[in-house]
Amino acid sequence: MSAEDTPEADADAAAESESETARAKLFGEWEITDIEYADPSTERYITVTPIAHTMGRHADKQFKKSEISIVERLINRLMQTDENTGKKQLATSIVTEAFEIVHERTDENPIQVLVSAVENSAPREETVRLKYGGISVPKAVDVAPQRRVDQALKFLAEGVYGGSFKTTTSAAEALAQQLVGAANDDVQTYAVNQKEEKERVAAAAR
């Protein structure tokens, strides 16, 4: 066994790789370190990496999506419309431009704004339909942390679509508005409004 194959060498190589990842920046501009999480339940499901395109390496493995960058997951969500289906480069450019707008307006790291927006848009409760003797009855249930993140990304993408489709507002501008509004927990923002609506319906079904 050579000196390069020792466990110590492997540990040093792993540490160096982690250090290089920490130094890398998303889109070559935004720091991925020092991101603060206000919601401990969703923290493990909101991953921040400097990579925004993993070429679907997680697609064949259940629950692996939570290991993908939250930015890439947002990009993928923006692709789920008739106009943007399969256009990842376009969706990526929309997010890149939106991040620039967010930084200009808030003077904050747009990745931090995105994380806060996801946390504030993630519903804690929702309803399911249970059947009792042929009668369908709504029942309030807690939402799993991973589904909370999924729902938040869905609401943000729907808000962008609704705010930019057949309007003079660009998709990047609409996304920036959604992110800033949701990060500030503004109920006028579509994503936060949808979260509040889900929780209101669930509260009525308790």
Q: What is the CA radius of gyration of the chain?
A: 20
% of the chain at pLDDT higher than 90: 54
pLDDT mean over 179-197: 95
The predicted pLDDT at position 181 comes to 95
How far apart CA 25 and CA 23 sit, in angstroms, is 6
Q: pLDDT value at position 63?
A: 73
Q: Where are the extended beta strands (E) located within the chain?
A: 25-26, 30-31, 125-132, 135-142
pLDDT band at 147 (very low <50, low <70, confident <90, very high): very high
Q: What is the pLDDT of residues 5-44, one digit of tens each?
A: 666 655 555 545 455 555 688 888 888 988 999 999 999 9
Per-residue pLDDT band for 150 (boundaries 50, 70, 90) equals very high
Structural domains of the chain in order of their starting residue, each with its CATH number: 8-205 (1.10.455.10)
48-51: Cβ within 8 A, 24+ apart? 48/111, 48/115, 49/21, 50/21, 50/24, 50/25, 50/26
In this prediction, residue 10 carries a pLDDT of: 57
When mean pLDDT is compared across 23-27, 70-74, 119-123, 136-140, the lowest value belongs to 23-27
pLDDT of the residue at 114: 96
The per-residue pLDDT for range 55-110, each reduced to its tens digit, is: 777 766 777 788 889 999 999 899 887 777 778 888 999 999 999 999 999 999 99
* 25 φ, ψ (degrees, to nearest 5): -120, 145
pLDDT band at 51 (very low <50, low <70, confident <90, very high): confident
Looking at residue 87, what is its pLDDT? Answer: 86
